């Protein structure tokens, strides 16, 4: 618009002012934002109330609804609040009133409700015409001394009345009940606390102005929710108390009981703050239906008026700890309580520490007490002034009577009295209004006593105003009184166990033993150990894998679901997986291709697998290659592999890894070759090397021969009682004591282990066994056999051995694995029924169990065609 133009006029005589929309929007939005912040969403730091809450209490105070009064209809209370103070309608006021009465919403309810005020299930309250209410004890403390000019007043919405801008707040409401609200661009979430702990912290601040927040936390360890529960860890609380922002992980309180049919059940008796019980039940049903949690058979709500009781019934043999962690991850049984200590301080939103919140409460109480003292002092001085005039009148009663009788009216009498005795108008008025009964001797004494009491009261009140320690003492006395009236015990437990809100997947996986199988074609799976039942020696076993045509299982071992598996490839690299990351398959499934689990280079194949429980264990990884090279490297060197693998050992061209095992100082090493030779030497014969070293010669092998197995013999075993089992491809083998293998230097050809004949075939495995162990054999056709080591008697090194497995035509043994007595004990706990041992069978077929096989006489014939040979000449190879 040009300077010469005039604003267009409206028909009513007004005018329109053109403005930029950006400017109008910013100013209007700012006005709206400030209105929300000050008049709706954020609490005042002094009394911890929002305007709507404060107006409800003021209206109830006007209606004299004290705790000893009769209950009044909530419709009346909401109507009074709306009509006198809060112009937003009764339907907005009533929900605020309801929350102030809910014991599961406020730690110390401010309203005592009668009727249906909702439930922790999320049920809505009854209509306000059906419910009644009155003030609770803490509200009375909040309103104490409101009539003594302790706070400022402001006009109400229509300027008919005055309303307090804040309540005197003898009760530390903001700290004890907390507050939450969402304003424009900011939010507050102050958690509730225990009154006794808050009072102790305030007293500590009053005693020591320099007290640290760390010392305050000794008095206030953390929030105390009305619904109880457990806060996991203290770090989030400490952060919130020191910075004003933090979070607390809250879990439901629970215990385990034995339910129907001896099934275990989880019982939840307290749930996280502001979580609806029905929401928890709905979420549990959802995760069971979609298969995220499979161990739950039923969920029931057995809550009553005596307390909350939520039952989660588990399936038989399920681990309660695993199910519990799954529930904490997938349901609101664990929730995060955000702590944002934002409140209005002198009309401005500020984020406060724990010390800041306490300081603001103390500052407010000091102001209230001083203003109350000034009010009482003024009233006492005014009364003292009147009593002084009455004393003068009593002392000069005859003259006073004469002046009053001689006066034409009251005004003349007051003027004459003021002139005659130098009185003020108030004193003259009191004398004129005095009754003749005050002239008796008793009344004169009372007047004198009142005057002396007023003098003492004025001196005491003046002393309070002059000495800050007197004010502090009054605050402390008020706290003691409030705590004695309303204090109670802590409901929320604080655990020292830190939880970050996220879950390690291992916590959700049951610890159990698994059979890990790996085929020559690169297929990997894990299967529960209880799938396989023990048989007698010589049995054919059950179908253990549905092998791909032309494929065969060549590795199997026992491992816990939380164990690590190191995969050593033919290229000398190592890859890393957890057992629970290996796909689980049925007894006859072929598993998952290893290429889908780890990133192998073109032409790379996995040749050896190693189970590791913890990389912090003291010890080494001991390698053996088919060319007879060995290497010893610290286990910790393999704890941080990359997704694409890391180099485990440097190999000569054409060589590959055939075994890897954990070794500790003092252990001994046994190597066995396919040609029936074995060598035994001390682990110290191979010095520790770096991860990429080539190693040294461990066994000299003849042309056409190769090393097939590596055994680490622990130093603490009795070599005269522990044995090694040698298995050959045609199902024959034997058990020989370790003491039969003399300890020689590394690098030699070793001694005879077993005669490799056409009947036996070459050696395929060499395994350390105890009397209580069991052995598992697997054939190229996918057949698995389990048998007891105790069924095999010990034989010398020069025997041919006995039949271990009855094979079908064309089938051969490709792997053997020891099941330790410890693993067997775990298996017995995991199985739902006892194993059937030595079960007799009829015809042999897939999935059938057969009787123990017979042994031919010549199976145990002794060899006599050669002495043991030993060549200890073994030089170290070059290391890179």
Structure tokens at 173: 């409401």
Angstrom distances, CA of residue 789 to CA of 736, 768, 825: 11, 10, 16
Asked if residues 407 and 385 have their Cβ atoms less than 8 Å apart, the reply is no
SS3 832: coil
b/e sequence 117-144, b meaning 16+ C-beta within 10 Å? bbebeeeebeebeebbbbbbbbbbbbbb
**130 among known catalytic residues:** yes
SS3 528: strand
Using the Cα atoms of residue 310, residue 315, residue 317 and residue 322 in order, give the sign of their dihedral.
negative
Angstrom distances, CA of residue 467 to CA of 137, 460, 471, 705: 31, 11, 7, 101
Beta pairing partners, 724: 736, 768
Q: Following DSSP, what letter does each residue of 270-324 receive, concatenated?
A: E--TT--HHHHHHHHHHHHHTTS--SEEEEEE--BTTB--EEEEEPTT--HHHHH
Active-site entry in 130, 241, 580, 741: 130
Structure tokens at 380: 């006492």
CA distance 194 to 846: 68
CA distance 394 to 386: 12
For helices 410-421 and 425-433, the axis angle rounded to 10 degrees is 120
* Cα of 242 vs its chain's centroid, Å: 21
CA distance 514 to 531: 10
Secondary element (H or E) of residue 555:
strand 553-560
The rounded radius of gyration (Å) of the Cα atoms in the chain is 44
CA-wise closest residue to 575 among 603, 555, 599, 556: 599
CA distance 574 to 609: 9
CA distance 414 to 404: 8
Asked if residues 43 and 49 have their Cβ atoms less than 8 Å apart, the reply is yes
First to last CA, the chain: 87
Beta pairing partners, 332: none
* Cα of 374 vs its chain's centroid, Å: 52
Catalytic annotation, residues? 130
């Amino acid at each position: 618009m040009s300077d010469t133009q005039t604003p267009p006029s409206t028909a009513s005589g007004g005018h329109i002012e053109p403005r930029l929309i950006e400017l109008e929007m910013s100013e209007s939005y700012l006005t709206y934002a400030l209105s929300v912040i000050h008049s709706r969403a954020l609490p005042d730091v002094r009394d911890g109330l929002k305007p709507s809450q404060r107006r409800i209490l003021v209206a109830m105070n006007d209606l004299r609804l004290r705790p000893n009064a009769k209950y009044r209809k909530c419709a009346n209370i909401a109507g009074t609040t709306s009509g006198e103070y809060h112009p937003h309608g009764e339907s907005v006021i009533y929900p605020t009133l309801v929350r102030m009465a809910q014991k599961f919403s406020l730690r110390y309810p401010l309203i005592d409700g009668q009727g249906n005020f909702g439930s922790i299930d999320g049920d809505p309250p009854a209509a306000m015409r059906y419910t009644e209410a009155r003030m609770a004890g803490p509200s009375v403390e909040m309103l104490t001394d409101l009539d003594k000019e302790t706070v400022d007043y402001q006009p109400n919405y229509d300027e008919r009345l005055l309303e307090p801008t804040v309540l005197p707040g003898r009760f530390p409401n903001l700290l004890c009940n907390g507050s939450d609200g969402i304003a424009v661009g900011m939010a507050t979430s102050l958690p509730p606390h225990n009154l006794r702990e808050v009072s102790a912290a305030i007293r500590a601040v009053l005693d020591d102005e320099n007290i640290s927040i760390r010392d305050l936390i000794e008095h206030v360890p953390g929030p105390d929710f009305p619904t109880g529960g457990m806060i996991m860890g203290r770090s989030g609380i400490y952060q919130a108390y020191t910075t004003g922002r933090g979070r607390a992980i809250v879990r439901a309180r629970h215990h385990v009981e034995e339910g129907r049919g001896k099934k275990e059940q989880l019982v939840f008796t307290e749930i996280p703050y502001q979580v609806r019980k029905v929401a928890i039940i709905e979420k549990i049903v959802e995760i069971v239906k979609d298969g995220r949690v499979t161990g739950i058979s039923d969920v029931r709500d057995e809550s009553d008026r005596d307390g909350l009781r939520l039952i989660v019934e588990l399936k038989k043999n399920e681990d309660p700890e695993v199910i519990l962690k799954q529930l904490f991850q997938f349901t609101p049984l664990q929730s995060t309580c955000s702590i944002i200590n934002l409140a209005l301080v002198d009309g401005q939103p500020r984020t406060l520490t724990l010390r800041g919140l306490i300081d603001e409460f103390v500052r407010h109480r000091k102001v209230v007490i001083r203003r109350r003292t000034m009010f009482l002092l003024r009233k006492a001085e005014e009364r003292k002034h009147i009593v002084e005039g009455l004393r003068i009148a009593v002392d000069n009663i005859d003259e006073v009577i004469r002046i009053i009788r001689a006066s034409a009216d009251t005004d003349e009498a007051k003027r004459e009295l003021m002139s005659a005795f130098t009185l003020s108008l108030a004193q003259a008025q009191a004398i004129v209004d005095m009754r003749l009964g005050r002239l008796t001797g008793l009344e004169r004494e009372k007047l004198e006593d009142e005057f002396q009491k007023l003098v003492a009261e004025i001196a005491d009140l003046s002393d309070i105003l002059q000495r800050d320690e007197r004010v502090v003492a009054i605050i402390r006395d008020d706290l003691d009184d409030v705590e004695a009236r309303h204090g109670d015990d802590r409901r929320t437990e604080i655990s020292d166990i830190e939880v970050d809100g996220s879950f390690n997947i291992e916590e959700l996986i049951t610890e159990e033993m698994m059979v890990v199988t790996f085929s020559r074609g690169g297929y990997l799976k894990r299967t529960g150990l209880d799938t396989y039942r023990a048989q007698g020696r010589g049995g054919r076993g059950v179908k253990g894998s549905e092998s791909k045509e032309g494929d065969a299982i060549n590795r199997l071992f026992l491992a816990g679901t939380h164990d690590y598996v190191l995969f050593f490839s033919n290229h000398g690299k190592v890859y890393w997986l957890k057992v629970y990351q290996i796909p689980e398959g049925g007894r006859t499934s072929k598993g998952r291709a290893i290429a889908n689990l780890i990133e192998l280079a073109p032409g790379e194949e996995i040749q050896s697998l190693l189970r590791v429980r913890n990389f912090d264990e003291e010890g080494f990884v001991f390698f053996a290659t088919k060319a007879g090279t060995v290497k010893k490297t610290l286990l910790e060197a393999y704890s941080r592999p990359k997704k694409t693998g890391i180099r485990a050992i440097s190999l000569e061209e054409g060589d590959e890894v055939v075994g890897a095992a954990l070794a500790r100082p003092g252990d001994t090493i046994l190597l066995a070759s396919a040609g029936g030779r074995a060598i035994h030497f001390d682990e110290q014969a191979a010095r520790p090397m770096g991860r990429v070293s080539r190693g040294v010669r461990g066994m000299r092998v003849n042309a056409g021969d190769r090393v097939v197995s590596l055994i680490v013999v622990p130093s603490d075993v009795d070599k005269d009682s522990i044995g090694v089992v040698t298995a050959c491809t045609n199902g024959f083998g034997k058990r020989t004591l370790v003491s039969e293998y003399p300890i020689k230097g590394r690098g030699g050809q070793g001694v005879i282990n077993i005669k490799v004949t056409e009947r036996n075939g070459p050696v395929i495995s060499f395994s350390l066994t105890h009397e209580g162990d069991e052995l598992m054999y697997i054939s190229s056709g996918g057949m698995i056999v389990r048998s007891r080591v105790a069924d095999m008697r010990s034989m010398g090194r020069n025997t041919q051995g006995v039949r271990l497995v009855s094979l079908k035509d064309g089938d051969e043994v490709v792997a053997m694995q020891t099941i330790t007595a410890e693993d067997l004990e775990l298996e017995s706990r995991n199985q739902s029924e006892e194993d059937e041992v030595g079960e007799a069978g009829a015809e042999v077929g897939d999935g059938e169990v057969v009787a123990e096989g017979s042994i031919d006489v010549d199976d145990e014939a002794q060899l006599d065609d050669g002495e043991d040979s030993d060549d200890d000449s073994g030089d170290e190879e070059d290391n890179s």
